[in-house]
Amino acid sequence: MASTLALSPRAARPVLADLIPLRRGSRLREAALVLGGAGLTGLAAQVSVPVHGSPVPVTGQTFGVLLVGAALGARRGAASMALYLLAGFVGVPWFAGGSTGSIHLPDLGYIVGFILAGAFVGTLAERGADRSPWRTALTMVGGNLVIYACGVPYLAVSAHLSAASALHYGLTVFLLGDALKILLAAGLLPGAWKLAGRRPVAD
């Protein structure tokens, strides 16, 4: 994917959060960004639509995860998703449908995958992958694949589904929704860079 994205070899380009006009590197600023990312994901998770036959609903959760990873970068994106997971397990009702965490939650694998996806998307964003619609779309596809790689196997085990059923109810039924979220992100992130006065890199 790196060659397709034609990323800059520089591994520390600014991400959108770095444009916030507050002193960079301060602990309060970093904590606020991580907490804000977790809160945004929790808010997006409340947009939830049940899927017939699947224990996992369609939510805005993954959209929030990928936006947070791109906006915060790898380290803060992963930390934000880890906070989201841990806070949900101690009782914050901000998983899909206002639920909290449990090892029996059928979408737990997806939520664990959020941490890896936040780091993955954040790493690519630090290399300029959120500066143009095409690169942003490819980055979001990669982030979704990371989430599914964690979520589908766990769903199969926790819900006692065959591999084919887990793929259908844990991946296939969400593809259209994911495509719409990716298109939205492909317009939103490069647009945010333009509004910030940063010209996106050419495709």
- Can you give the residue ranges of every domain in the chain? 13-195
The C-alpha atoms of residue 72 and residue 87 are separated, in whole angstroms, by 19
pLDDT of residue 176: 86
User: Which tokens hold the place of 196?
Assistant: 């910030």
Residue-level pLDDT, tens digit, the chain, 203 residues: 444 454 544 556 889 998 877 666 688 889 999 999 999 999 998 887 877 767 777 788 999 999 999 999 999 999 999 999 999 999 899 887 778 877 778 888 999 999 999 999 999 999 999 999 999 999 999 999 999 999 999 999 988 999 999 999 899 988 988 998 999 999 999 999 988 875 444 44
The C-alpha atoms of residue 30 and residue 73 are separated, in whole angstroms, by 11
**Residue 86, Cα to own-chain centre: how many angstroms?**
16
13-195 maps to CATH 1.10.1760.20: yes
Neighbours of 127 (CB within 10 A): 20
pLDDT of residue 203: 43
pLDDT of residue 8: 47
pLDDT of residue 195: 86
| Contact status, residue 190 vs residue 130, Cβ threshold 8 Å | yes
Neighbours of 134 (CB within 10 A): 14
Collect all residues with Cβ–Cβ distance below 8 Å to 1 and sequence separation of at least 6: 138, 142
